[in-house]
Structure 1
């Protein structure tokens, strides 16, 4: 991340100086405390990977405490995602979220930006011309039983030689160029590839995240194939705490509930800028997380 000079000071209701800074490694502990205050399950390692792959801003008060964060991830010159937007409870209602978002939008311009919003954030984003395009459902829990892996002729472990095919499938399913992020997620976890007629037709990555593991991204051409990729990941993970974030339209929600990954929340997917649905035929069936999309 490039360094950024402190911006003009704003004052909150208690006359504490609040300064806008580029998000740097020194802010990670403060960011972790913010997410813990909100009961978000990020570990310090999750924040570190996010910052390694992206950039953003923090607000810091005169005591040196991080009171707000916002991050974004560039996917080439045309698209980006935004997330990890948090304002400390004691600092809410003072325009800090708006200040962060305006800085983020200026930095990411002119890219189309996608994010997943809580109900509380909708008004902030809608005032900045974000529009709703879908719903993401958060499923999590410990599976009721161990899962059998699909036949090796259908789903196999991802190999280094699959990197180009995985990036191509991901771009089909998202419309984004994010090879660097995919490479880092594979490095942090394990990948599977679904093969049909000798060609990779879908992929899944699972890795440590939050309270246990997350399975995502998952990209495939059908819900049946998406389920097979998730089952391959579950077979490797065993009966541990697992999270899967999937679109309400994915047709996977009922199945995830049936295996013990109950829906515990949802978020509104929003976009600012031209939104062209991905070309396919591969589609996104599970997110890397709700910030990366």
Structure 2
């Protein structure tokens, strides 16, 4: 797939750094919140394809690898003028080929579900986007900020919760934002990240042993963000919607988490993901 592919007057090519400006224009036209910095971060972690009409970017798709076993298919967008021509399917198929034998995960709108189901994806659960201006939040006393020395423990917890190696993602998150954690003795047992994103800030991922730990981490971080716009994406089943709404972050929409080629888990992990880093990378 490194060679160019022709779709009538549309050409698929590798997504390179100079395509970010065109991708940003596409996402703004579609109402996405992503900044240039958000695109640049995810592109730096990924391989991808762009659809080109001449020199103009009219479609994008990325594949973010998580080690050799798992990946996220993301940032799939097609210019409105090119929809209905099969461009989205060709972009998605191209990045699925980049994923190879890896399990593939993505989040889908209702409009995208039929395509992804045809490509072998199975719906798993709903992802809920909460966003708003943070109100008064009482901080939790069992959480605290941690520095770079905590990153190996945080990565290990995420591998347990997520089921794959996302070390590169966490190296990027450490450059972009901050981590908070809960300890038992000297051991980190739960963590949360926060960084700039879109029109404000995002909190996530959050991985914890329990709903109470996840709630405490969110309370700790949000207590310092009163009056700011914050986004949190959660699997619907986590039970965090109610406190998030109480803290000024109403439910704004949902997408469907889907998976293709999943190996399956024999048991529920001791640490679970309560909030996503983003809908794109889980």
Please state which band the TM-score falls in when normalised by the shorter chain. Answer: over 0.9
For residue 14 of structure 1, what is the aligned residue in structure 2? none
- 1:234-276 CA-to-partner distances (Å, cap 9, x unmatched) read 1233320000000100010111111110011000000000242
CA distance in 1, matches of 2:173, 2:245: 26
SS in structure 1 at match of 2:26: helix
- CA displacement at 1:229 relative to structure 2: 0.8
For residue 36 of structure 2, what is the aligned residue in structure 1? 44
State whether residues 134 and 228 of structure 2, in contact with CA within 8 Å, keep that contact through their aligned partners in structure 1. Answer: yes
- CA displacement at 1:231 relative to structure 2: 1.3
For residue 72 of structure 1, what is the aligned residue in structure 2? 63
CA distance in 2, matches of 1:139, 1:279: 25
CA distance in 2, matches of 1:276, 1:186: 29
**1:75-154 residue pairs with structure 2 within 5 A?**
75-145=66-136, 147-151=137-141, 154=142
Residues 1:233 and 2:221 are matched in the alignment: yes
Residues 1:54 and 2:46 are matched in the alignment: yes
For residue 176 of structure 1, what is the aligned residue in structure 2? 164
CA distance in 1, matches of 2:248, 2:223: 14
Measured on the aligned residues, the alpha-carbon RMSD in Å equals 1.3
Which of 209, 212, 215 does residue 203 from structure 2 map onto?
215
Residues 1:272 and 2:260 are matched in the alignment: yes
- CA displacement at 1:197 relative to structure 2: 3.1
- CA displacement at 1:156 relative to structure 2: 1.4
* Aligned residues between the structures: 281
Gaps of 5+ in 1: 12-16
For residue 287 of structure 1, what is the aligned residue in structure 2? 276
Gaps of 5+ in 2: none
- CA displacement at 1:279 relative to structure 2: 4.8
- 1:95-151 CA-to-partner distances (Å, cap 9, x unmatched) read 001100110111101000010100010011000110011110000000222x33321
Following TM superposition, the consecutive aligned residue runs of length 4 or more in structure 1 with deviations greater than 4 angstroms are: none
Residues 1:258 and 2:255 are matched in the alignment: no
Residues 1:5 and 2:6 are matched in the alignment: no
CA distance in 1, matches of 2:225, 2:174: 15
Q: What TM-score do you get using the length of structure 2 for normalisation?
A: 0.96
SS in structure 2 at match of 1:260: coil
State whether residues 173 and 279 of structure 1, in contact with CA within 8 Å, keep that contact through their aligned partners in structure 2. Answer: no
State whether residues 73 and 96 of structure 2, in contact with CA within 8 Å, keep that contact through their aligned partners in structure 1. Answer: no
State whether residues 172 and 279 of structure 1, in contact with CA within 8 Å, keep that contact through their aligned partners in structure 2. Answer: no
SS in structure 2 at match of 1:218: strand
CA distance in 2, matches of 1:71, 1:236: 34
